[in-house]
Amino acid sequence: MKHLLITNGTVVTDELVARGTVVTIGDRIMLVAGEEEGRRILEAASPHVFQVIDAQGGWIAPGLIDVHMHGCAGVELMDGTTEALQTMARFLAQHGTVGFLPSTVTAAEDKTRSVCQVVAAYEDTAEGAELLGLHLEGPYISEQYKGAQYGPAIRQADLRELEELYSILGSKLKLVTLAPEVPGSLEAVAWLKARGVTVSMGHTDATYEQALAGIERGITHVTHTFNGMRGLHHREPGAVGAVLATPGLFAELIADFVHVHPGAIKVLLRSVGTEHVVLVSDSVQATGLPDGEYVLGDNKIFVRDGAARLAEGNLAGSTLTLRRAVRNMIEGIGVDPVDAFRMASLNPARTIGLAYRGWIKEGYKADFVLLTPDFEVQKTIISGRIVYSAD
C-alpha cells in the first residue's frame, strides 16, 4: 500500500487550510501543510512511494463517526446477521462515515443477546466503515418516553443481563442508553462506568433531580437531545434542563430539522458548546431508500417525505446521513465548518473514548472524507486506505 498525498482542497483541522495538503504514512497522518509547503512536497514526492489524490478544490475533512444508527439500505442491526452489518458498513462508507456503532432497540433478552453475539464475531469488510462496537439503546427506559422503542420489552435495569452482554461483547460494548429514574439504573451506571462503558441518558421521564443523580453516578452522554425525554419547564427543568445546565456532557443531535427545530438547535449550541454536541443520524433501514413501509426492531414504521414514524405518529429514527447533518449545520444553522465537522468526527470519538481518532492532526489515524464544495462524497479513506471512490 502506498502512502497518500492528498492535495488541492480545503483541509478541515483546527482551522480551515485553503489549498492545503495532507500527507499520510501508513495508517497515520504525518503532516498538514499549506499551499506553498504542499507544492514543495508534491514536487519532491516519489510516485513509487506516494499516491497523489487531487481533492479538486473540495473539502479534505475528517472521516465521520456515527455513534447512533440503527440501519440503512434496507437492513438494520436487529436483523441479527453479519450480512446486514456488511451492508450497513458499505453504505456508510459511500456517505463519508468511517466508523459506526450500530444501535439496538428495546427487545427481548434472547434477541438482544443474539444481536450482541453477531457484533462480537463481526470482522470489518475492506469496502466498508469500521464497526467500532455496539450501542445498547434500551431496554432500561421510560414507558412514557419510549418513542419508537418496543413497549412490551421495556424492563428495569438488570445487572445480571448487563454482565451477560458484557461477557459477550467485552470492550465492544461502547455505549448504553438508559433512563436514570428506572429502578436499578443508578447501580447500572456505576457498574458500566467502572468498565469503561460510556453511559447515556435517554428515553427518560427523569426530573431535574433524577437526571442530576444519574450524572453524578457517571452519565456523560445524552441520547438524541430534546427527543424522548422530559422537556424544559421553568418550574421543573426536567432532563432537558439538566442537560443544558450541566457542563461537560456530550449531547447528541439529530440535525434533520424534523426532530429538532433550528431555534432549539441554537439553544443547544449556546448551552453545551460546539465541543460537546455530537451529530448522529439515528438512521433506520429506510435510509437511502424511497418512502414506504419498513420496520424498526419489532415495530412497523412508515416513511413519508423522508420522515419515519410509527402508525400513531411518533418519530421513529431518521433517514439522515451524517454528511447531510454536517451540511445542514453549516447551511441551515450557520455553524462554522470546523465546528460542524468536529461535531460529526472528533466529538463522537471523544465521547466513546477513542484516542487519536476523528480529526486531521499529526499522529492521528488517517481517516478522511473528500467532498465536493457541495458536500457530495468523492472518496472515503480509512486507515490510509481508499475504501470508497465515486470515480
Instruction: Estimate the crossing angle of helix 109-121 against helix 82-94, to 10 degrees.
Output: 60
Residue 71: partners with Cβ closer than 8 Å, 6 or more residues away: 77, 78, 79, 84, 88, 102, 283, 284, 285, 287, 296
**Given the residues 54, 282, 367, 391, the one annotated as active site:** 282
Annotated active-site residue 367? The verdict is no
What 3 state SS string does 14-58 have? CCEEEEEEEEEECCEEEEEECHHHHHHHHHHCCCCCEEEEECCCC
Round to whole Å and give the CA distance between 127 and 141.
35
In the numeric block, which cell numbers belong to residue 248? 461537560
Total residue length of the chain? 391
**For 332, phi and psi rounded to 5 degrees?**
-95, -30
Give the separation between CA 382 and CA 358, rounded to whole angstroms. Answer: 11
Run of H or E including 208 = helix 208-217
**225, 251 in Cβ contact below 8 A?**
yes
CA pair distance 10, 16, nearest whole angstrom: 6
> Which residues, 6 or more positions from 152, have their beta carbon under 8 angstroms from its beta carbon?
none
Query: Rounded CA gap, 12 and 364, in Å?
Result: 14
Report helix, strand and coil shares of the chain as percent, to nearest 5. Answer: 30, 30, 40
End-to-end alpha carbon distance in the chain: 19
Q: What is the Cα–Cα distance from 175 to 293, expressed in whole angstroms?
A: 29
Cα 205 to the chain's mean position, in Å?
A: 24
Beta bridge partners of 12: 16
Which residues are CB-contacts of 179 (< 8 A; sequence separation ≥ 6)? Answer: 140, 141, 142, 145, 185, 201, 202, 203, 204, 205, 206
Nearest to 67 by CA among 288, 270, 221, 257: 221
Residues with a catalytic annotation lie at 282
